[in-house]
Amino acid sequence: STAVTVPDFALVVLIGASGSGKSTFARRHFRATEIISSDACRGIVADDENDQGATPDAFALLSAILDLRLKNRRLTVVDATNVRAEDRKRLVEIARRRHALSVAIVLDPGEEICRMRNASRPDRAFGPHVIRNQMAALRRGLRGLAREGFRQVHELRSEAEIAGVTLSRQR
């Protein structure tokens, strides 16, 4: 199994294409109140978790919640694809202002698995190029994660490695 230790006060950024298992991973390893997702925020601002037009407002809300939780020294997990450096940088900047360590957890079970899983999700009916592009963006950015300000980078490279994670917290 893969041991992943995160500081008990941290920003945890999940990074992975649609279908990579971010929401499943978050539910398994963190408390419901510790997780903020772009989908839930779209739902709150637009009554529709899939309304892409609501994305800017959803991320404004997500950023506000993140900032307030870190102000209160609460560990916070951001469940969004986060495959682009500019998306991650806004999150890391908030963490820096609140003196929280930033941790990246990369979920990469492979493009084929992401595609197969999404095929059975009625709310993820986008073309295969979407996942291919997300995967390409993710892999381009991997090398730079430390430079972006992530103090820890955990890369999970297969379905088995993701399933085998033992997560613990450190003071």
Containing 84, the helix (H) or strand (E) segment is: none
101 binds ligand ATP (CB under 6 A): no
Instruction: Identify the sign of the CA torsion 25, 31, 32, 36.
Output: negative
| CA-to-CA dists, residue 43 to 77, 88, 124, angstroms | 18, 21, 15
Residue 3 and residue 98: Cα distance in Å, rounded?
27
Q: Considering only 54-62, 90-98, 117-125, 144-152, which stretch makes contact with ligand ATP by CB under 6 A? A: 117-125
Phi, psi angles (nearest 5°) of residue 49 = -65, -15
Contact 108, 155 (CB under 8 A): yes
Residue sitting closest to Mg ion (CB)? 23
Site size for ligand ATP (CB under 6 A): 15
Kindly tell me which residue out of 57, 111, 159, 161 binds ligand ATP, with binding defined by CB under 6 A.
159
Q: From ligand ATP, Mg ion, none, which one binds at residue 163 (CB under 5 to 8 Å depending on kind)?
A: ligand ATP
24 binds ligand ATP (CB under 6 A): yes
24 binds Mg ion (CB under 5 A): no
User: For binding to ligand ATP (CB under 6 A), which residues are involved?
Assistant: 16, 18-24, 39, 81, 117, 121, 124, 159, 163
